[in-house]
A and B are shown apart, each in its own frame.
Chain A
Amino acid sequence: MNRLAAILLSLLIAGCGEGVPPFELVEQDPKMVLDFGLYNSNTKIEVGDSFIDAEGNNLTLRTFKFYISDVALIAADGTEEILTEVELVELDRFNTNYDSEFEFIIPENDYEQIRFSVGLPADLNATDPTTVSNTDPLSTLSGMYWDWGSMFVFILAEANIDTNDDQSIDGIIGFHTGEDLQYRPRQTYPMTFSIAAFEKDSLQVRIDWDALFSKGSDTPIDLSLIPYFHENQDEESVEMTRQFTDNFINAISVSDRK
């Protein structure tokens, strides 16, 4: 319908008499917005939001950002449409440097899967962040650069936690994943997404908080346990970040917003 309307509009303009330049109709490729969101039950949460998780923990999200790389749509006929090499997804409405929505121009087609890696492949992970622009996902502005090891954090999730509802922060839970062990290449998520010329549509990538930690997770992580902070300082933390990464992959679902 959109295409028909555009053609009719162009014919109307073309018939507007002398002085109006001839209008050449150019078929416009459709646009797709990839929209990432973190959800507690059915409520979308971003940095600064407070919420109560399925285990009754009072939480306030401090940071939630992660790299996706090698992003592509896969059509029903098997063709791949590469969308981007790398993006930093940051779920922070107050941070204007990075975003959680990404717009791509794609060919019209019927797509059945979206594919992306969580984290960075070795070549991108070795990027010198001083050689890219400040707004590049791999700039130090990302706050994702592990300068002590010349590599990037893949997922950085932090929240204040109050486990006993006494209105005081018990600690900061933190999961900082990185290194090859935490890289999850070419994850594919099924969906149905058909788009035609002149159309603009969104694909919603939903991350379920409960699936990251508790309900719905095959390997629940008890957020009330200390230590709260998990990076790669010891074997226990490494195991926890590995588990968190696996849960992260399984907490993602993708759907057409139409």
Chain B
Amino acid sequence: MMRLLIFLLGCMMVSCDSKKMDTSQESKDREWSFWDSMKHPKNNLPSVAKIELGERLFYDPALSSDYSTSCASCHEPSIAFADSVPFSIGAKGRRAQRNSPSIVNVGYMPHFMAEGGVKNLELQVIAPIENELEMDFTVIEACKRLNDLPAYREAFRLVWQDSATPFTLTRSIAAYERTIVGGTSPYDSFLKGDEKALTSSAENGMDLFFSDRLGCVGCHSGVLLTNFEIENNGLDSIYEDKGKYRLTLSKEDQGKFKVPSLRNVALTAPYMHDGRFETMAEVIHHYESGGAPHPNKSVKLKQFELNESERADLISFLESLTDAEISY
């Protein structure tokens, strides 16, 4: 019942002691309404059969040109639907351009891809299928392949009263992806009132995380610990991958990438859009440094210094964001 506190922590964006947080019924209702408020497009309302079809497609390498790569190849359920390498290996052994993000809670995201240029989950499905470095296929060819298989023909007919088409394929997979939801971490338990859910180290780390001194919550706020913005987090002075610039062609967007959710972050190494950091300790070290100088660097980034104990505490807190169970 106290999941609301996650929401409040982010929204307040202030340093606070979790034990003093607002527990009013109104706030609880707001929190619950968040988890219940996943929006489904009118033309893609969920059904059991549709979700099952989407799940089957998600794990099927037949959606790649050489039958080598499925969605799950780069979004492995055992590691919060992320990958464990900087760049996933796709069809024909090719290396993807960016690090695969976790897609747990993806149904709550307002935009997709590192630039944030894809506005709905259905359209996002096209991107890996048609990317020559990932699944190296076309949605239309994938549909032809599926329609040659009686089992898929029947499944699409049952769900859609239609064959596999770019529309039905993308909607089915998106419907499944919306079922991949967490919210079962020790941190969630703690916020629900289980004061023993967090270790004392993790509690200390939580205080640090939400402190003005570190300012993590400036970007990693809200229930999902992301503000959903596209930010420059000071990784480089010169970016090979220009990030959001590719989308807007605006200099002000160079080096800006989507702020990821920190839920399950302990499972999703390596980190950053190019997987440059292998451990959370390296990430923390980067933020302690204040980041590389760049005209677009977020003003929220500031130098700070932690002692070894504090670093360990912060990592403990981040580890407490790991879901005990991810439903899918």
A residues bordering B, Cβ < 8 Å? 128-131, 134, 139-141, 145, 147-151, 179, 181, 232-235, 238
Contact = CB atoms under 8 A, between A and B. Distances in A.
Interface residues of B, number: 26
A128 B123 contact: yes
Contacts of B242: 233-234
A186 B266 CA distance: 53
Nearest to B127: A147
21 contacts: A128-B122, A129-B126, A130-B126, A130-B167, A131-B167, A134-B140, A140-B139, A140-B140, A140-B166, A145-B130, A147-B118, A148-B113, A148-B115, A148-B117, A149-B246, A149-B247, A150-B123, A179-B248, A232-B246, A232-B249, A235-B251
A149 B131 CA distance: 12
Interface in B157-185: 165-167, 169-170
B119 interface: yes
A238 B249 contact: yes
Given A149-B247, A232-B246, A130 B165 contact: yes
B138 A149 contact: no
Most buried by B among A141, A148, A149, A234: A148
A139 B166 CA distance: 9
A244 B67 CA distance: 38
Contact of A130 (B122, B138, B246): B122
B117 A150 contact: yes
A22 B7 CA distance: 80
Interface string B236-257: 0000001001111101000000
A147 B170 contact: no
A79 B170 CA distance: 43
5 closest cross-chain pairs (CB), A and B: A149-B117, A130-B166, A147-B127, A147-B126, A130-B167
Contacts of B167: 130-131
A147 B123 contact: yes
A248 B251 CA distance: 25
A151 B126 CA distance: 12
Contacts of B170: 130
B130 A140 contact: yes
B118 A181 contact: no
Given A130-B165, A233-B242, A238-B249, A149 B140 contact: no
